[in-house]
Amino acid sequence: MKREIRDDYGKHFNMALAYQTLQKYFGHTSFLPLQEDVIKDILLKNDVFVLMPTGGGKSLCYQLPALLLDGVTIVVSPLIALMKDQVDGLKANGVDAAYINSSLSFDKIQTIKSKLLENRISILYVAPERIMLPDFLSFLQRLNISLIAIDEAHCISEWGHDFRPEYRQLKSLKEHFPQIPLVALTATAIPEVQKDIITQLKLADPKIYKASFDRENLFYQVKPKDNAYHQLWEYLKNHKRDSGIIYCFSRKSTDDLSSKLREDGYRALPYHAGLDSDLRTETQDKFRKDDIEIIVATIAFGMGIDKPNIRFVIHYDLPRNLEGYYQETGRAGRDGLESDCILFFSYGDKVKIEYFIGQKEDETEKRIAYDKLQDMLNFCEGRTCRRKTLLNYFGEVYHETNCGKCDNCLEPKETVDGTIIAQKIISCVSRIKERFGVNHIVDILCGSRSQRLIRNRHDTLTTYGIGKEYTRKQWQAFIRELVQLGYLRLDGDRYPIVKLSEKSHGILSEKEMVLLTKPAEEVQIAQKYFDESFDRELFENLRGLRKRLADAEGMPPYIIFHDSTLKAMASHFPQNLSDFQRMDGVGESKLEKYGELFVEEIRGYCKERNIEPKPTSVHSYLAKTTTSTLQETLELYKQDLTIEEIARKRNLAISTIASHIEKLILSGEEISIDKFVDIDKQKQIVRELSIPGSKRWASIKERLGDDYTYEEIRLVSAYNYVRSAAAELI
């Protein structure tokens, strides 16, 4: 019987029990941002909409309540592979979970149904097609259902990039189960899609949670495609043991590239819709089990990629839109460790995409697709922070001036005085009456003898041939950058016309100077330093042990432990089960099953090399490696600087540094908040946090008044949670 989570007040939860459950089954001792608030609302039986990026912990938002509520939680999931991954992971954590889909025999499905009727399963995964079958609906209505979760909820929206008609049927769930709370979860949804999800699923006055789209551990880079295979080879030679996905535009390029990689010694296989279904399943299974390192895929390799240790996602060809790009890059670094997202950019790819858009019959669909492609081009060509552009697209404001994790921030493009360049272009646009596109303007500036140009007598213009100092590609880049900067605008979809804007006149009248990006001369992929905060040899030994155990059990290695957990072991060298349990990701079930084997491997390694283990204090629950930006803040904290001083030194907002400190506290670092928050204020905030009812910071801030800041509340809240969790574990 599941333990009661409510106290005498009815709407205030014994969160110590939630923390115990979190540690027991999942091996964590703190929640990621928003998880705790989402879980509380689910336990209050509210409908909830959750927008949380890949790696942000969506699954836990319904998995943990399933262990606290009586009855079964039904999870609607789109792919068989994704269901199997989730259920294998839950079972490894000691959770009674199952899935019902077409991969199971009739007898196996009947066995699972019997267990459900006996209330012996906590979480059941089903496909959207199956849950809406009349017979299956009738069966579900015989169960004690506590919650229904719709994963990948963006598939219900026609506005989304991954619409699936079978998801539309889910809008009648509320009619069949009106009293059961519904939670819709997605990692990728622009504002229109978010509204559509809530409307289509008929969520009743839902609590809405939107986590930041920012994936701090991802490094974004866009490089002009110039001998793409050589560029790829230069990158891969430093990442031979890393798992990665390479996305290609067509099936043929997928097959060709994977074949070439195998010839060069890489374990790579293709994945696309033209392959036999069984072969695709076999390929994905090899990737999950680390039997191959690289999948070369079309977008057919979509949802259901639950592998946490993907260290790079490379777009060998231009993506069609930013939603798809964000979702595909989001498959990298799900374990929170640093990973690369590299895009090779070519205007030849743009033409290919435009051709396929042109085949669409619906004019509205066509217009939307062209607009999305233009947004993708703006992302590739921009010289501002990639992260800022990406987040702005999804409606999120990014306040930092330098993210430190993209090519534009780490290696800003050199600018030149482009006033004369801009004047030549704008003058040319004016003289041809704003009636032609980019390529025609470039032809004029470069002095082309094209028939169209001569036919229009544009070889007689004063701007004809005045731009021979730059190449055609460079002039095209200048024009596109002027469009981005607002000095020109494009009118039309597939063949847009270049028009003047209000800002154009300032250039022609010489009242304004414009800086343009200096033309690139050499194309290289930035290589980052390896993380040496852990013992790499021990890490590889532990990976080997994990692989042997996983192969023996017929499961992917990451089901046993994530790379982040192995790196924690290779950093702290736990010598006994007590210390081993303090590694993040080690729950009771995995401690019992694998603890002795891993501790023995670590002890033997340390003995051979005379390595002294690092002590792990009671507060070091999360022996996770911190990201470089958190590490930098931590080092400044150790210099006894205030939050304001750290913010000034790093040229970041105070709220950002407070967020860093919060994450460091939750990750187990020994942080004292006394110098950040007055002791009396701490006591008052703790009292407010203990009041039964909502623990939303906004309501707490309102009660406390203007003398208290959100930064003070978040730091005390984090410190209080860690201290409470520690008390429960001692």
Q: What does the pLDDT look like over 412-470, one tens digit per residue?
A: 777 788 899 999 999 999 999 999 988 899 999 999 988 889 889 999 999 999 998 89
Q: Which helix (H) or strand (E) holds 595?
A: helix 588-609
Q: What is the pLDDT of residue 400?
A: 82
Q: What contacts 609, CB < 8 A, 6 or more positions away?
A: none
Q: What is the pLDDT of residue 367?
A: 86
DSSP 521: -
Is the pLDDT confidence value at 407 over 50?
yes
Q: How, if at all, do strands 72-76 and 145-150 pair?
A: parallel
Q: What is the pLDDT of residue 72?
A: 95
* 543/82: higher pLDDT: 543
Tell me which of 70-84, 98-112, 290-304 is least confident.
290-304
Backbone angles phi, psi at 118, to 5 degrees: -90, 5
Arithmetic mean of pLDDT, 393-406: 86
Q: What is the pLDDT of residue 102?
A: 87
Q: What is the pLDDT of residue 703?
A: 82
Tens of pLDDT, residues 500-509:
988 888 887 7
Size (the chain), residues: 730
Confidence category of residue 692, pLDDT binned at 50, 70, 90: low
3-state secondary structure of 566: helix
Estimate to the nearest angstrom the gap between the alpha carbon of 233 and the chain centroid. Answer: 25
Residue for token digits 């701490």?
682
3-state secondary structure of 406: strand
Nearest by Cα to 152 from 125, 124, 123, 187: 187
Tell me which of 132-141, 215-224, 239-248, 296-305 is least confident.
296-305
3-state secondary structure of 35: helix
DSSP 23: I
Q: What is the pLDDT of residue 491?
A: 81
**Quick one: residue 55, left, alpha or beta (phi over 0 = left, psi -120 to 50 = alpha)?**
left
> Which amino acid, one-letter code, is at 141?
Q
Confidence category of residue 547, pLDDT binned at 50, 70, 90: very high
Strand partners, 247: 297, 315
Q: Which domains does the chain have, with CATH numbers?
A: 15-210 (3.40.50.300), 218-410 (3.40.50.300), 415-517 (1.10.10.10), 536-609 (1.10.150.80), 628-729 (1.10.10.1390)
Tokens of 88: 């294998």
Strand partners, 269: 295
DSSP character string of 72-113: EEEEE-S-HHHHHHHHHHHHHTT--EEEESTTS-HHHHHHHH
Tens of pLDDT, residues 297-332:
987 675 556 788 999 999 999 999 998 899 899 889
- Residues 459-478 as b/e (b if ≥16 CB within 10 A, e otherwise) read bebebbebbeebeeebbbbb
Confidence category of residue 29, pLDDT binned at 50, 70, 90: confident
Is the pLDDT confidence value at 342 over 90?
yes
Beta carbons of 568 and 9 less than 8 angstroms apart: no
Confidence category of residue 23, pLDDT binned at 50, 70, 90: confident
Cite the beta strand spans of 250-348 per DSSP E.
268-271, 294-297, 310-315, 339-345
Q: What contacts 414, CB < 8 A, 6 or more positions away?
A: 517, 518
Handedness of CA 68, 69, 72, 76 (dihedral sign): negative
Is the pLDDT confidence value at 12 over 50?
no
For the beta sheet containing 268-271, the strands, ordered from the edge strand earlier in sequence to the opposite edge, are: 218-224, 339-345, 310-315, 243-247, 294-297, 268-271
Nearest by Cα to 242 from 319, 343, 323, 342: 342
Estimate to the nearest angstrom the gap between the alpha carbon of 99 and the chain centroid. Answer: 25
Q: What contacts 355, CB < 8 A, 6 or more positions away?
A: none
Helix, strand, coil percentages (3-state) for the chain, rounded to 5, are: 50, 10, 40
Beta carbons of 374 and 353 less than 8 angstroms apart: no
Q: What contacts 134, CB < 8 A, 6 or more positions away?
A: none
* 213/457: higher pLDDT: 457
- Among 252-261, 274-283, 387-396, 625-634, top mean pLDDT goes to 252-261
Tens of pLDDT, residues 152-176:
888 887 665 566 777 888 988 999 9
In angstroms, rounded to a whole number, what is the distance separating the alpha carbons of residues 8 and 30? Answer: 25
Q: What is the pLDDT of residue 305?
A: 67
Is the pLDDT confidence value at 182 over 90?
yes
Q: What is the pLDDT of residue 655?
A: 72
CA separation (Å) from 69 to 73, 150, 179, 256, 440?
Answer: 9, 18, 15, 51, 66
Tokens of 337: 């460790």
In angstroms, rounded to a whole number, what is the distance separating the alpha carbons of residues 569 and 534? Answer: 8
In angstroms, rounded to a whole number, what is the distance separating the alpha carbons of residues 180 and 46? Answer: 9
For all residues of the chain together, what is the average pLDDT?
Answer: 84
Q: What is the pLDDT of residue 619?
A: 34
For the entire predicted model, the pTM comes to: 0.65
Estimate to the nearest angstrom the gap between the alpha carbon of 273 and the chain centroid. Answer: 24
Tell me which of 158-167, 273-282, 651-660 is least confident.
158-167
Instruction: Centre a 10 Å sphere on the Cβ of residue 509 and count the other Cβ atoms it contains.
Output: 9
Arithmetic mean of pLDDT, 594-618: 81
Backbone angles phi, psi at 375, to 5 degrees: -60, -40
Tell me which of 10-19, 399-408, 618-627 is least confident.
618-627
Is the pLDDT confidence value at 668 over 70?
no
- Using only C-alpha atoms, what is the Rg of the chain? 28
H runs (alpha helix) in 460-611:
472-484, 504-508, 536-553, 557-560, 563-572, 577-581, 588-609
Confidence category of residue 525, pLDDT binned at 50, 70, 90: low
Tens of pLDDT, residues 348-382:
788 888 888 888 888 888 888 888 898 898 899 88
Tens of pLDDT, residues 119-164:
999 999 999 889 989 999 999 999 999 999 999 888 887 665 566 7
Arithmetic mean of pLDDT, 575-592: 89
**Quick one: residue 310, left, alpha or beta (phi over 0 = left, psi -120 to 50 = alpha)?**
beta
Confidence category of residue 190, pLDDT binned at 50, 70, 90: confident
Tens of pLDDT, residues 34-50:
888 899 899 989 999 99
- Among 522-531, 624-633, 696-705, top mean pLDDT goes to 696-705
Tokens of 185: 């979860």
Q: What is the pLDDT of residue 168?
A: 83
Beta carbons of 393 and 322 less than 8 angstroms apart: yes
Q: What is the pLDDT of residue 620?
A: 36
Arithmetic mean of pLDDT, 3-15: 45
Q: What is the pLDDT of residue 4?
A: 45
CA distance between the termini of the chain:
25
pLDDT > 70: percent of the chain? 89
Q: What is the pLDDT of residue 529?
A: 41
